[in-house]
Amino acid sequence: MELQNTVKEALNALYRHPDDAVRMQADRWLQDFQRTIDAWQVRTSKTLMGVTVGVMLEEIQGLYKLHYQPCFLYLSSEVIKMFGSDPSCTDYLKNLIESLFSHTTCVLTKIQDFTSRPDIVDDCFLLASRCIRYCPQLFFPSPVFPSVVDCSMIGITVQHREASKSILNFLSDGQRDYPKRGHYHPTSVAALTGALPSSRLETVTYALLALLRAYEVQALEWVKESVSLIPSTAVMEAEKSSFLKALSDVASGAAINGVIIPIEELSEVCRRNRSVQEIVQRALRPFELNIIPVS
């Protein structure tokens, strides 16, 4: 019953789509799913359920290529949640993951894309986090995983609250659970020092700490390189050193409590006025011309 209600709820989201073809397809999926439920209990009919899910996922892939609507990403995340650990669905889910992410990363190539389609960004990285949680054995070895991480670094400074939260949660989950591929970029420090509202500082901090725990000295070098880009007219060397020393302690195994205050202090220094904030952001994000200072 739980499975039935979950999939029905996800499909119902498609009924609100303005395209008649999408609504009709959702209705057909729901009818097929209901027939399967009526004939056999979910836990005793995994083979037939796998076939039903497979047909639905193939349709999702085709429709997503045509419409690029976030509802298909959301529906897929619900399917991943329910079937991610089911061996009978492995091939279907693997194809779904590779198809959806390969197409999504192709339309999110610059920060302006993230700004114009925060709905796709939100559901894309929600799907990515659920793949990490429910089917890491399919997602991490996938050829699309590195491109998803690279994509997240491009959009890490997106201003939309939910889109930003989804990206940061994905980065934290990915670094924690799969610390085998190093990704870092000055935009990550930019997010900490003013590109994102101070209300998101805690979430950004968790992503940074996950990186430090995963890569230790290597991550510290990445952060040092990024911080070195900030002109001394904006942040004094002593302030940079205090921040980096706290990160070094965490990378060496110290408690994370000791790094919170230095991170907050650096963030405040870089946000102390509009002029300083613009200097810092232009140093860390030189190719983003339309920088909007935030509080």
pLDDT digits (tens, 9 = 90+) for 62-75: 888 888 888 889 88
| pLDDT reading at 48 higher than 50 | no
Q: What is the pLDDT of residue 38?
A: 45
pLDDT digits (tens, 9 = 90+) for 70-110: 888 988 888 898 889 888 889 999 999 999 999 999 999 99
Phi, psi of 230 (to 5 degrees): -75, 125
Q: Say if CB 68 and CB 106 are below 8 A apart.
A: no
Q: What mean pLDDT is reported for the chain?
A: 80
| pLDDT reading at 6 higher than 60 | no
Q: What is the pLDDT of residue 252?
A: 80
DSSP character at residue 295: -
pLDDT digits (tens, 9 = 90+) for 105-119: 999 999 999 999 999
| Residue in the block written with tokens 């940079």 | 240
Q: What is the pLDDT of residue 270?
A: 94
| DSSP states along 247-264 | HHHHHTT--THHHHHHHH
Q: Measuring CA to CA, which residue among 166, 208, 207, 187 is closest to residue 283? A: 187
Token readout for 103 is 């197409």
Token readout for 66 is 């045509």
Percent of the chain with pLDDT over 70: 75
Q: What is the pLDDT of residue 39?
A: 42
pTM above 0.85, yes or no: no
pLDDT band, residue 19 (cuts 50/70/90) = low
Q: Phi/psi class of residue 165: alpha, beta or left (left: φ > 0; alpha: ψ in -120 to 50)?
A: alpha
Element (H, E) at 150: helix 145-154
Q: Measuring CA to CA, which residue among 170, 142, 138 is closest to residue 154? A: 170
The 10 Å Cβ neighbour count of residue 289 is: 8
Token readout for 84 is 């991610």
User: Sign of dihedral through CA atoms 58, 61, 64, 65?
Assistant: negative
Alpha-carbon distance 273 to 260, whole Å?
22
| pLDDT reading at 207 higher than 90 | no
DSSP character at residue 95: H
Q: What is the pLDDT of residue 108?
A: 95
| pLDDT reading at 56 higher than 50 | yes
* Amino acid (1-letter code) at residue 118: P
By the 10 Å C-beta count (0-12 exposed, 13-18 middle, 19+ buried), 256 is classed as middle
